[in-house]
Amino acid sequence: MSDQTFLAPERAAEHVSSTEQRTLRVLLAGPRGFCAGVDRAIRVVEEALRRYGAPVYVRHEIVHNRTVVEGLEAKGAIFVEELDEVPADGHVVFSAHGVPKAVPAEAERRNLLYLDATCPLVSKVHREAERHFAGGGPEQRHILMIGHAGHPEVVGTMGQLPQGAVTLINDADEARSVQPEDPSRLAFITQTTLSVDDTAEIVDILRTRFPDIEGPRREDICYATTNRQEAVKAIAPESDLVIVIGSPNSSNSQRLREVAERSGARRALLVPKLADLDWSVLEGVETLGISAGASAPETLVQEMVVALSEHFVLQIEERIVKKENVSFRLPGPLATSAD
């Protein structure tokens, strides 16, 4: 898991150079940043590099964060989009988002040595989908997947079953209009990184329209997504601006930005890293909330706080709504008793 410590106010104060600097109150959301699935996926690549040597190929960004990807590239990882870019004797890692079944099948066909860094909480949704499909037998249900079209996790989850077995529901309107062939034999699953509130609305619509639908008690949104959204809700009402550190292609980071705005922040912005910050957005801001998506390392938060401390006298408060103590073992071939 990531180190959740932040720059201590005393240390931040060391950076104050002028008595004319104005005060900025900073509310740090906790938990924020790396989740157990991201932490594990990065360890998979690092351990593969240690055991097998560079290069190790990684299919798709291992997690949606450029800083993480560039850090692994510097250590010898090569990121590819498809398996045909991997040489015959190469080691290849599948990303935390999961992959359609066709991908490991193709890796086996090509005799590639592959390691699966799919987050165990995404794999759990894969197994749920398979259970509802029930091998295409008499218990089979058609599956409605709540998620965002094109996201790699959605592609991977839908790809666990034959084409046509899963219908994607992108939003509440689609939940209202979907016309399944047999409304009495349905199940739903969800992407793990959705907005908790939006998904609750969609699930309500589906349960009302299709009372026999099977599914998880609420949804499949993971603990990390849920906790980070709760933490942002706790700081947003007091914040003139909330900065979410995360990449634009990171689903959970995008959701955090939306949650901040809906929960009372005057404005919320996604900022991939310090260099992308437009300092003019801080004009008139007296209280700044900061969070980070599940794929953003804590170092990016600390860099941001240090830079802020060079422009303002900071009053830092960390608001922790939940302590997390989750970690996942490395997958089979890399697992050791120390994991």
Q: In sequence order, which residues have a C-beta less than 8 Å from that of residue 52 and are 6 or more positions away? A: 91, 113
Which tokens sit at 167?
A: 């219908």
Which residue's C-beta sits nearest to ligand SF4? 37
Shortest CB 32 distance to ligand SF4, Å: 12
Residue 295 known to bind ligand: yes
Active-site pick, 61, 128, 153, 219 = 153
Considering the complex, what minimum distance in angstroms separates the CB of residue 39 from ligand SF4?
8
Report the residue from 294, 316, 330, 334 that binds ligand SF4 according to the rule CB under 6 A: 294
How many separate helices (H) and strands (E) can be counted in the chain?
11, 12
| C-beta closer to ligand SF4: residue 37 or 156 | 37
Q: Within 99-138, which residues bind ligand SF4 (CB under 6 A)?
A: 119, 121-122
Is 36 a binding residue for ligand SF4 by CB under 6 A? The answer is yes
Phi, psi of 251 (to 5 degrees): -60, -45
Nearest by Cα to 225 from 32, 66, 63, 40:
32
Best CA proximity match to 314, nearest among 14, 108, 65: 14
| Dihedral class, residue 136 (left if φ above 0, else alpha if ψ from -120 to 50, else beta) | left
Cβ 207 to ligand SF4 shortest distance, Å? 23
Gap between the Cα atoms of 228 and 293, Å rounded = 8
Which residue number, 7 or 96, has a Cβ lying nearer to ligand SF4? 96
Q: Which pair of tokens denotes residue 244? A: 């979410």
Please choose, from the candidates 93, 29, 38, 94, the residue with its C-alpha nearest in 3D space to the C-alpha of residue 64. 38
Residue 244 sits in the site that holds ligand SF4 (CB under 6 A): no
250 marked as part of a ligand binding site: yes
The reply to whether 151 sits in an annotated binding site is yes
Note whether 157 binds ligand SF4 by CB under 6 A: no
Under the criterion CB under 6 A, does residue 96 sit at the interface with ligand SF4? yes
CB of 120 to ligand SF4, least distance (A): 7
| Cα 117 to Cα 62: distance, rounded to the nearest angstrom | 8
Q: Among residue numbers 159 through 218, which ones bind ligand SF4 (CB under 6 A)?
A: 192-193
Q: Give the interface size with ligand SF4 as a residue count (CB under 6 A).
A: 15
Tokens 């240090």 sit at which residue? 306
- How far does CA 250 lie from the centroid of its chain? 6
Whose tokens are 């939003």? That residue is 171
Q: Closest separation between CB of residue 263 and ligand SF4, Å? A: 20
Specify the 3-state DSSP secondary structure of 156.
Answer: helix
Q: Which stretch binds ligand SF4 (CB under 6 A): 35-43, 161-169, 264-272, 317-325?
A: 35-43
Per CB under 6 A, 31 contacts ligand SF4 = no
Binding residue for ligand SF4, selected from 37, 159, 289, 297, defined by CB under 6 A: 37
27: left (phi over 0), alpha (psi -120 to 50) or beta: beta
Active site (annotated) includes residue 153: yes
Other C-beta atoms lying within 10 Å of the C-beta of residue 144? 26
Which amino acid, residue 284?
Answer: G
Residue 222 among known ligand-binding residues = yes
> Closest separation between CB of residue 225 and ligand SF4, Å?
5
Cite the active site residues. Answer: 153
Q: Rule CB under 6 A: which residues touch ligand SF4? A: 35-38, 96, 119, 121-122, 192-193, 222, 224-225, 252, 294
Residue ranges of the annotated binding site for isopentenyl diphosphate are 64, 97, 151, 250-252, 295
Residue ranges of the annotated binding site are 35, 64, 97, 119, 151, 192, 222, 250-252, 295
